[in-house]
Structure 1
Amino acid sequence: MTNAADKKTSVKLTAKSQAKANQAATDSAIHYHIVPKDLAGHLYQVRLSIARPDPAGQILTLPAWIPGSYMIREFARNIVQIHAHNAGKKVPLKKRDKHTWQAAPCEGALTIEYEVYAWDLSVRAAHLDQQHGFFNGTSVFLQVAGQEMAPHIVDIQRADDIACKNWRVATALPELKAKRYGFGTYIAANYDELIDHPVEMGNFVMASFDAHGVPHDFVVTGIVPNLDLPRIVADLKKICEAQISFFEPKARRAPMDRYVFMTMAVGDGYGGLEHRASTALICNRADLPSKNQIEMSDGYRSFLGLCSHEYFHTWNVKRIKPAAFAHYDLRQENYTSLLWLFEGFTSYYDDLMLVRSGMIDEASYFKLLSKTINMVTRGSGRKKQSVADSSFDAWTKYYRQDENSPNAIVSYYTKGSLVGLGLDLMIRAETAGKKSLDDVMRALWQKYGRDFYEKTLSGKQQGLSETEIEAIIEQATGVKVKRFLDRFVRGTDDLPLAGLYEDFGVILNDASKGAKRAKASLGVRVAKDGNDCKLANVHETRAAHRAGLSAGDVLIAINDLRVTAADAADGLSNALSRYAVGETVQLHAFRRDELLLVHAKLQADDIPALSLTLQENSKARLLTHRPSYQKPVKK
């Protein structure tokens, strides 16, 4: 038993102990000071202070890539100038490789000062102008070799510019002395956490909501007239709560204390990048709803799908990780053949969570799914590359696509999502609806994700091995999946979705079959190039390919009639509408500055026209066990 006086003493001692611990952490911390130095010149000024540098000479490295975007980006190329000093004296810095420096040995604290050029308006790097500032830590914070596990403190300062007078700060980084949304000091437990919290600065608008007890902020930078923020946060709340309940159906516990959606609204853009407690998004301002907009536009539906995708990553890839990502090596590529699971399954669940949360109905969901099926079916590369190989080759093929990519590769996002769908349908069918892919995801969460960061700090985190997923699926569901994985993941077979959906009252239709008059086609994808019509992709074995045309050629005439950018806008459909399948047309084109004359025999348009529909009066035995099935609302 403890009396009141004892309790007061205990509280004082605890407070003192905590203060000492905080001071000790601060003393041993790595300190950064970052300020927008030149808005028009797009320069950040960064000062790095190291209290106890390596006596042999401190090594400093800037990451070459950012987790979630699998391409070497060479962020160090944006360091404009860098120098070091100790007690007011210059310390020599030796460049060891393209992104590594070593300071000469010195006694006492070492300070590194450098400038970073920030003019990449994307979610992957850093950007700065008079409208806003944004950065990922991988672009601006040098890693101090040997001290990665020390606390990292960041002092984010306002620029000395009138344009920044009303700027605020949005980030999921824990505040140290800064007030929320304010400039000042923030703290991360280690370097890995530091670079996993992007920062947005500007005159943004924002709104907040609670999802199962966790505060969420939605931040928008950029001009969006008459923005309906209440609608957005109400919709996001439903999606976030659906996902939290998905992984923790009993506890309904999110893996973070707070979450931030950071959105940059522009005239033309789309993308997102996941982080442990936030996501950076870029979208068309027209996709965000206005207050007088009642119906859900296609653009807004797409934006909600993007938010759903990045939020699902909070579990799948940020905490449930492949073994290759358990401990990132940010100096070079980290290879895994499992992106079809981590990106593909996330792509499967992103739209599925829209229908499960009530944002869209099942018919709308099937339209989105049909679009994905057609995208996968269109490319002949799916017959040459498996999604396992696509995952492994992400660094060199998927993220470095060229004009021949449709003929050579398959997307681990889109076909990976169909693999998720196929597995889900097969598991539900073989277990009479008692098990599903949901059980697999929860099993992965329990084994690899729930305590990921705690295990990482203790050195016990291993991540999902390259060969383990088959056993985990079978343990979670009781369904044998080796043949399925051999054919559709490690092999290049098309998923038999028509057959898999048969028991669920869903029909896969092909509108191209039985057509009275097939459209004539050259088998190309065209794009505007000034006032010209350029061949962006030439699909192999199709008419243009057989005639000898290549991607990059500028098509100027069909049967002596000029072709322009206006024809590119409709994909040549009007220019070819007067011709029938089987006719031969004369084509003039420029390759570089040389005129070509070829003859092409037009073929039937091979653009897939597959769609999913619910079978009326279906007697399918598993009708109510569809992944997207929603129970009727009782009135």
Structure 2
Amino acid sequence: MHYSIVAADPAAHLFAVTLQIAAPAAVGQIVALPAWIPGSYMIREFARHIVQIRGESNGRTIPLKKLDKHSWQAAPCDGPLTLHYQVYAWDLSVRAAHLDQTHGFFNGTSVFLRVVGHENASHVVDIQRPQGAEYDQWRIATALPTLRAGRGAVGTYVAANYDELIDHPVEMGTFQLATFKAHGVPHEIAITGNVPNLDMVRLSADLKKICETQIAFFEPAGSKFARQAPMQRYVFLTLAVGDGYGGLEHRASTALICARADLPVKGQPECSDGYRTFLGLCSHEYFHTWNVKRIKPAAFAPYDLQVENYTSLLWLFEGFTSYYDDLMLFRCGLIDQAEYLKLVTKTINGVLLGSGRGKQSVAESSFDAWVKYYRQDENAPNAIVSYYTKGSLVALALDLTIRSETKNKKSLDDVMRVLWQKYGRDFYATNDTAGRGVTEAAVEALFDAVTGLKLKRFFDRYVRGTDDLPLEKLLASAGVTIADERKAVKPGLGARTTRGGAECKLLNVYEGGAAHRAGLSAGDVLMALDGVRVTANLDVIFGRYRVGDTVTVHAFRRDELLIFSVKLLADTTPQLGLNAMQGPDTAVATRNAWLAGRHSR
């Protein structure tokens, strides 16, 4: 299959794509654009962005019949079939495609039609910058293997099959570029956007530490594959904007979006919270190179990109990755122990905030990602649990449980390495990936086999069930105390608010809280409290009240003014804190081994 993609009209945000099919099906070739992109579990219907499409063969027009929302069938033709189509690209995210006068970006799932029946053929793609002198300095960043290099943003690339073709996003423009090697493997960082005084030297050095630590984690010294990365080259594609955050993993690259203020500044050696968060995002997406891009759930081997692919294992693939992303920052020396425990504290408090954790298990959350996690509404905290955040706590609890029960001879690290050796290392050895994914039953059996423990009760209660994890006990076994750090009981509304200008709007109303009991709803705009206009932060306003006081609240619901009598209840927002114990006892030794990734002999 031979594609050509041209940034044809940046002002209109249009990519022009040509697809040449040498041997189309005799009965009429079917082509389809994916309905979703791996790593983002929601049907997005990318075909809606195809503006127009036409077919031709040997100079003759070939009619195309639309079969469904994302598929076409060409009429039978005697020779090669060529399709010409335009893709509207105005989605400034890591999931789709974006083109304007400043840069171009696309994921293959948004622009490359799949030729049904020819998915395992080699796929070649020519990429071209826009026409005009103002685009002469544009260049290309992608992990796609190069077939023929061109000048500037022109080049020809090749993929072994369609799955590989769509797993390499492409950035074109005048980005800042830096390179480094991690255990001998070339890595590139392309930063798109206006970022003055960007410290690329520091960013490269910090990412090198993360990458080398993760490579050595899965392929430790002393093994046949010691410190061997699963890719020949890796690219971090980063779009810096005024305010943004997100990432999407690929087999040899990641697409990232961040706030420019989160990137390091020359001459400023301190590590801001924003930069630490960005490094955590990079660590998360890089860990996916192993966990989900190669170690996959059976439902993803292979993907069916036209419909939902259901699995109950996202708590492992996203949750465990969320556990290791920050842990790797500690293990590579970018954060200290206190900073790491602070990040764990934030996750615990976030999970405890919503009552949905008692109604939906992480296994159910994984399965329902398509309709619940990725389509959250104002009631989400009361109805669902995140397989990212609670999944990371499941990983923490499993790690500490395994270390405690085996006297620190085994850990979650061992399980991850065996998953890699059994399911991930050879995943792309051939084009046919069917049957190479791991099933729910196989995951649990592997945990028992690697650790020598019987963990069914743990899985029943905390993975398939909705019990809160016994973190206080487990953390104590690792020399970490957990305690409520509230300084005093204070009144609260039991809601999350946002301010826009002078408005104070309720975003979420937590089940059982004062707002819920009084009848306030998400979307209500608070106007006055006891006759005084709501202009300040609610915490400041409630500083004049006590738990149990009744206040009169005036609020707009849509365009109607309503009056509520609200009895203020104690603010139950979780404020737990983690603190490391001091001393040379066994618990402290366990903590040091856990954080460093060591075992007892």
TM-score, structure 1 as length reference? 0.92
Between the aligned partners of 1:492 and 1:631, the Cα distance in structure 2 is 29
Give, as a single letter, the amino acid of the residue that structure 2 aligns with 1:159: P
- 1:252-300 residue CA offsets vs partner (Å, 9 max, x unmatched): 1000000000000000000000000000000000000101211111000
Between the aligned partners of 1:473 and 1:135, the Cα distance in structure 2 is 39
Between the aligned partners of 1:42 and 1:593, the Cα distance in structure 2 is 38
Give, as a single letter, the amino acid of the residue that structure 2 aligns with 1:212: H
Contact 2:327 2:595 (8 Å CA) reproduced: no
Tell me the secondary structure at the aligned position of residue 540 of structure 2. Answer: coil
Is the aligned partner of 1:406 residue 2:349?
Answer: no
The aligned counterpart of 2:366 is: 391
RMSD (Å) for aligned C-alpha atoms: 1.4
Tell me the secondary structure at the aligned position of residue 342 of structure 2. Answer: helix
| Corresponding residue to 1:525 among 478, 496, 501 | 496
| Corresponding residue to 1:148 among 119, 140, 149 | 119
| Corresponding residue to 1:590 among 535, 538, 556 | 556
Is the aligned partner of 1:216 residue 2:190?
Answer: no
The aligned counterpart of 1:12 is: none
Matches within 5 A, 1:18-97: 30-97=1-68
The aligned counterpart of 1:489 is: 463
CA drift at 1:623: 2.2
Matches within 5 A, 1:169-184: 169-179=140-150, 182-184=153-155
Give, as a single letter, the amino acid of the residue that structure 1 aligns with 2:280: G
The aligned counterpart of 1:19 is: none
Is the aligned partner of 1:474 residue 2:448?
Answer: yes
The aligned counterpart of 1:364 is: 339
CA drift at 1:620: 3.3
Contact 1:33 1:48 (8 Å CA) reproduced: yes
Contact 1:425 1:627 (8 Å CA) reproduced: no
| Corresponding residue to 1:129 among 100, 105, 109 | 100
Between the aligned partners of 1:627 and 1:445, the Cα distance in structure 2 is 22
User: Is the alpha carbon distance of 1:180 and 1:69 closer, same or farther for their aligned partners in structure 2, counting shifts above 3 Å?
Assistant: farther
CA drift at 1:89: 1.2
Between the aligned partners of 1:173 and 1:311, the Cα distance in structure 2 is 17
Is the aligned partner of 1:338 residue 2:328?
Answer: no
Tell me the secondary structure at the aligned position of residue 121 of structure 1. Answer: coil
The aligned counterpart of 1:114 is: 85
Contact 2:397 2:469 (8 Å CA) reproduced: yes
Which stretch shifts more, 404-413 or 608-617?
608-617
Between the aligned partners of 1:561 and 1:409, the Cα distance in structure 2 is 36
- 1:96-143 residue CA offsets vs partner (Å, 9 max, x unmatched): 000000000001011111110000000000000111000000000000
Tell me the secondary structure at the aligned position of residue 348 of structure 1. Answer: helix
Give, as a single letter, the amino acid of the residue that structure 1 aligns with 2:337: E
Q: Structure 1: where are the runs of 5+ without partners?
A: 1-29
Between the aligned partners of 2:311 and 2:230, the Cα distance in structure 1 is 24
Give, as a single letter, the amino acid of the residue that structure 1 aligns with 2:272: S
| Bigger Rg, which one | 1
Is the aligned partner of 1:617 residue 2:569?
Answer: no
Give, as a single letter, the amino acid of the residue that structure 2 aligns with 1:484: F
Contact 2:528 2:553 (8 Å CA) reproduced: yes
- 1:300-337 residue CA offsets vs partner (Å, 9 max, x unmatched): 00000000000000000000000000100000000000
Between the aligned partners of 2:397 and 2:76, the Cα distance in structure 1 is 59
Q: Structure 2: where are the runs of 5+ without partners?
A: none
Give, as a single letter, the amino acid of the residue that structure 1 aligns with 2:561: L
The aligned counterpart of 2:483 is: 509
Contact 2:552 2:565 (8 Å CA) reproduced: yes
Give, as a single letter, the amino acid of the residue that structure 1 aligns with 2:540: N
Contact 2:364 2:464 (8 Å CA) reproduced: yes
Which stretch shifts more, 479-488 or 613-622?
613-622
Give, as a single letter, the amino acid of the residue that structure 2 aligns with 1:557: A
| Corresponding residue to 1:322 among 294, 297, 306 | 297
Aligned residues: 594
CA drift at 1:574: 1.4
CA drift at 1:163: 3.1
Tell me the secondary structure at the aligned position of residue 523 of structure 2. Answer: coil
Between the aligned partners of 1:118 and 1:196, the Cα distance in structure 2 is 18
CA drift at 1:618: 5.5
Between the aligned partners of 2:427 and 2:597, the Cα distance in structure 1 is 34
User: Is the alpha carbon distance of 1:239 and 1:165 closer, same or farther for their aligned partners in structure 2, counting shifts above 3 Å?
Assistant: same
CA drift at 1:625: 4.7
Is the aligned partner of 1:498 residue 2:472?
Answer: yes
| Corresponding residue to 1:464 among 438, 441, 445 | 438
- Give the fraction of aligned pairs with identical amino acids, expressed as a percent: 66
Between the aligned partners of 1:461 and 1:206, the Cα distance in structure 2 is 39
Contact 1:45 1:113 (8 Å CA) reproduced: yes
CA drift at 1:530: 4.2
| Corresponding residue to 1:576 among 538, 542, 549 | 542
CA drift at 1:458: 4.3
Between the aligned partners of 1:454 and 1:181, the Cα distance in structure 2 is 33
The aligned counterpart of 1:600 is: 566
Contact 1:433 1:622 (8 Å CA) reproduced: no
Is the aligned partner of 1:556 residue 2:522?
Answer: no
TM-score, structure 2 as length reference? 0.97
Contact 2:323 2:396 (8 Å CA) reproduced: yes
User: Is the alpha carbon distance of 1:114 and 1:595 closer, same or farther for their aligned partners in structure 2, counting shifts above 3 Å?
Assistant: same
Give, as a single letter, the amino acid of the residue that structure 1 aligns with 2:33: L
Between the aligned partners of 1:628 and 1:141, the Cα distance in structure 2 is 45
